[in-house]
Structure 1
Amino acid sequence: MDQVRVAVIGLGMGFSHARTLAAGRIAGGKLSAICDLNPAKQEEAKATLPSDVKIWNDADALIASGEIDAVIIATPHYAHPQVAIKCLSHGLHVLIEKPAGVYTKQVREMNLAAASSGKVFSIMYNQRCNPLYKKLRELIADGELGEIRRMNWIVTNWYRSQSYYDSGGWRATWGGEGGGVLINQSPHQLDLWQWTTGMMPKRIRAFCSFGKYRNIEVEDDVTAYAEYENGATAVFITTTGEAPGTNRYEVTGDRGKIVIEDGKLTFWRLRVPEPEFNQQYTGGFGEPECWKCDVPISGDNPQHSGIIQNFMDAIRQGTPLIAPGEEGIHGLTLSNAMHLSTWTDHWVDLPLDEDLYYELLQERIAQSSSQKTVREVGPVDMSKTFGTY
């Protein structure tokens, strides 16, 4: 395929992707269509995008039109799996925005549809393009850090004011977004947490506060503790209510410690692995010799355009995906587990009880103040649900 005809559905975050394609910044990709229910967004698209880009307000009709080869889905969270399954069933390649969905049960259905479709399926985990996290993943995979013992991620630089939440009736509601800081702001960190280490926990205990700092119904402050099969532990802390915020990711192994903070990767490398030192040392007080290494990071960070280009290359040339869509379920599993642990006031074992999570989520959706509630996943008129996000 010389050129992939791409449509963008949802012109909130999707407008940026549409402009990237329209500007010719993606080799092998052409923006052929956009779809949004909001007339104002349609007019903005007409005024700012090339005249040959067809504007639709009916997602079903666009998907079935035969005029496109691939779709970038930037709809509200609940609709990601629904639209993706519809697109895949019509033989279209799919790139979804994060998160993969709101709950793993619906995402699992999407993954099954993608696996049987034979089409390219990717997710917008653009932070996987960041050379800092790529280097961390490489160092861990190569054994430089040894066996992982502890992970700590404090990501509290997601400050959001009350006016931000008041800007849309769907924001920070169970019916509109399906969660708060975990589902909206932190999906990238939840993905990177498991992607860089190659590990998923065996159980999680979390403490989510709902509307702690803002007048919202979902979580805006989270502290979670996770345990792993090899004995490693992790703490994940995030909030939208603190200023100034911190973003510090620390991974400790038996060969040292790696910290990513302020755009730098620092490796405190032990000259002798801790278990070996402990076995041999007889001097009482003492610790292994440690070298502070500022690891050079090379390469650019193409962010969203890097994922879109990779998506095009996978369609045209079979290039391996940076972020396969099926992997979106991992980070979502972590956020679902944190919600479930808080709702039940108990540990949650992984794999989690997806039916219980769905049941308890539905209870919250039924009481949600959202003006754009999606109560069930099932047959719906997509032209009336997939508007501006």
Structure 2
Amino acid sequence: MTQVRYGIIGIGNMGAGHARSFQEGKIQGGVLTAVCDSMAAKRDCAREQLKDVQVFDSAEALLDSGLVDAVIVATPHFDHPGEAIRAFAKGVHVLIEKPAGVYVKQVREMNDAAAGSGKKFGIMYNQRTNPLYQKLRDLIASGELGEIRRTNWLITNWYRSQAYYDSGSWRATWGGEGGGVLINQCPHQLDLWQWTIGMMPTRIRAFCHFGKHRDIEVEDDVTAYAEYENGATGVFITTTGEAPGTNRFEVSGTRGKIVIEDDQMQFWRLRESETDFNARNKELFGRPECWKVDVPIHGRNTDHVGIIQNFTEAILHDKPLIAPGEEGIHGLAISNAMHLSTWLDGWVDLPLDESLHETELNKRIAGSRLKLTSVESKPADLTGTF
């Protein structure tokens, strides 16, 4: 194989963006040959604007066409695992949009199908291509920061207005998205949180506020506290109702502290580990010598195109994946635990009780309200989308 033939399942905002990347020739070794969507207006627009691309009304028809070697799944969250499993059964490689799914039990079934398929499986964690977070991961893995003691991520720059939530009946509902800021906006940060430090929490206590700032039924304001096996702790705070927002990730270890904010990294590096200093220090108010270093960052964030390019090279040349699809379960498990902790009003251990979470989620889905809006009653206008 010298070229990967791609299909896109779902041509909404994200799917259309990926189609544009192919049409503009940004993916070396990859070509878009087919797309599908259940909405007739989107299919009509695709036929008009996508050159040499077949348009189908269902994923089944696209997969049965024989036109694709790989698919990008860009459907609503609940559908990601089902579409991936269907594609694996047809012998097709799969790259899914984030999140991996809505609940861990569902995603585990997808991971099992991927493992049994022998095909490449990736997830669109495009922030893993950001050299800032790659550098942080490297510094931690190499021991430069010592043993992790504390993490703090304040990610409140996901501002969303009521107009955004009113733009679709599925938005910000348990039945439509399966969650709010944790499942829609923050999957990247939840993934990076565990990916950069190299460990998952052992238990979480979270306080999710549902419809605190907007007329929605899911969470739009979250504060969570995490504990780790080595004794480290972490705090994760997010909201869609704060302006101006902040994006600050701070990781403290026995060799200092690293802070990522405003696209820059600073390292307060201790000359010796805090543990060693404390063992020898006899001064009442002594403290370790510390050097503030502006860490140089090389390279650029290749974003979604970088993930698709890497996935293409994994298929063609067996290149290691930046974001293996199986790893999507980790960040999702954290968000599931935050939901469950709030619903049960207590600590939740990880690994998660998957059946209990599914049961509690289904209770919310059963009472979910879908808000029909005038926006949805109009035919889709995708002019300029592709």
**TM-score, normalised with respect to structure 2:** 0.95
How far off its partner does 1:356 sit?
A: 0.5
Aligned amino acid, residue 84 of structure 1: A
Residue of structure 2 in register with 1:262 after alignment: 262
Instruction: Kindly state the Cα deviation for residue 41 of structure 1 after the two structures are TM-superposed.
Output: 1.3
Larger RCO, structures 1/2 (Cα 8 Å, 6+ apart): 1
Q: Does 1:227 align with 2:227?
A: yes
Amino acid at match of 1:231: G
Residue 47 of structure 1 and its aligned partner are, at CA, apart by 2.4
Q: CA RMSD in A?
A: 1.1
| Counterpart residue number, 1:376 | none
Distance in 2 (alpha carbons) for counterparts of 1:43 and 1:262: 41
Q: Distance in 2 between matches of 1:159 and 1:67?
A: 40
Q: Distance in 2 between matches of 1:275 and 1:59?
A: 57
Residue matched to 2:340: 340
CA distance in 1, matches of 2:184, 2:287: 42
Deviations 1:177-226, CA, capped at 9 Å, x for gaps: 00000000000000000000001010000000000000000000000000
Residue 371 of structure 1, CA deviation: 6.5
Q: Which SS does the other structure have where 2:115 is aligned?
A: helix
| 1:297 to partner: Cα distance | 0.1
Deviations 1:144-174 (A, max 9, x none): 0000000000000000000100000000000
Separation in 2, partners of 1:64, 1:202: 43
Q: Which residue of 2 aligns with 1:32?
A: 33
Following superposition, the deviation at residue 43 of structure 1 comes to: 2.2
Counterparts of 1:47 and 1:265, CA distance in 2: 45
Measure, in 2, the Cα distance between the counterparts of 1:316 and 1:325.
17
Residue number in structure 2 paired with 1:96: 96
Contact conserved, 1:176 with 1:371, CA < 8 A, in 2?
no
Distance 2:91 2:371 in 1: 33
Superposition misfits of 4+ residues, deviation over 3 angstroms:
none
Q: Which residue of 1 aligns with 2:382?
A: none
SS at 1:208 equivalent: strand
**Is 1:56–1:62's contact at 8 Å kept on the other side of the alignment?**
yes
1:360 aligns with 2:360: yes
Tell me, in whole angstroms, the C-alpha distance in 2 between the residues paired with 1:17 and 1:167.
22
User: Which residue does the alignment assign to 2:18?
Assistant: 17
1:247-295 alpha-carbon deviations (Å, 9 max, x no partner): 0000000000000000000000001110111111111112101000000
Q: Secondary structure at the match of 2:77?
A: coil
**How far is the alpha carbon of 1:62 from its aligned partner?**
1.1
> Are 1:312 and 2:312 matched, yes or no?
yes
User: Are residue 299 (structure 1) and residue 299 (structure 2) matched?
Assistant: yes
Per-residue deviation, 1:40: 1.9
Confirm or deny that 1:197 pairs with 2:197.
Answer: yes
Distance 1:58 1:324 in 2: 26
* One-letter amino acid of the counterpart of residue 32, structure 2: L
Distance 1:115 1:245 in 2: 40
The one-letter amino acid paired with 1:123 is I
Matches within 5 A, 1:208-247: 208-247=208-247
> Normalising by the residue count of structure 1, what TM-score does the alignment of the two structures yield?
0.94
| Residue in 2 that maps onto 1:321 | 321
Partner of 1:151: helix, strand, or coil? strand
CA contact (8 A) 1:5 1:29 kept: yes
* Partner residue in 1 for 2:47: 46
Q: Distance in 2 between matches of 1:371 and 1:210?
A: 16
The answer (yes or no) to whether the contact 1:10–1:35 under 8 Å persists in 2 is yes
In 1: Cα distance, 2:344 partner to 2:238 partner: 20
TM-fit CA distance, 1:21: 1.0
SS of 2:249's equivalent? strand
Output the amino acid matched with 1:44.
Answer: C
User: Which amino acid counterpart does residue 213 of structure 1 have in structure 2?
Assistant: H
Residue-by-residue CA offset, 1:217-255 (whole Å, 9 max, x unaligned): 000000000000100000000000001100000000000
The 2-side partners of 1:231 and 1:58 are apart by 49
Q: Which residue of 2 aligns with 1:350?
A: 350
SS at match of 1:78: helix
Q: Which runs of no fewer than 5 residues in structure 1 stay unpaired?
A: 373-387
Within the alignment, does 1:140 sit opposite 2:148 as a pair? no
Q: Which residue of 2 aligns with 1:284?
A: 284
- Report sequence identity in percent: 69
Describe how 1:154-173 pairs up with structure 2 within 5 A.
154-173=154-173
- For the residues of structure 1 that align with 2:153 and 2:300, how far apart are their CA atoms? 24
Secondary structure of 2:176's match?
coil
Partner of residue 181, structure 1: 181
Give the CA deviation at 1:48: 2.0
1:113-165 Cα offsets, whole Å, 9 max, x none, are 00010000000000000000000000000000000000000000000000100
Amino acid at match of 1:27: Q
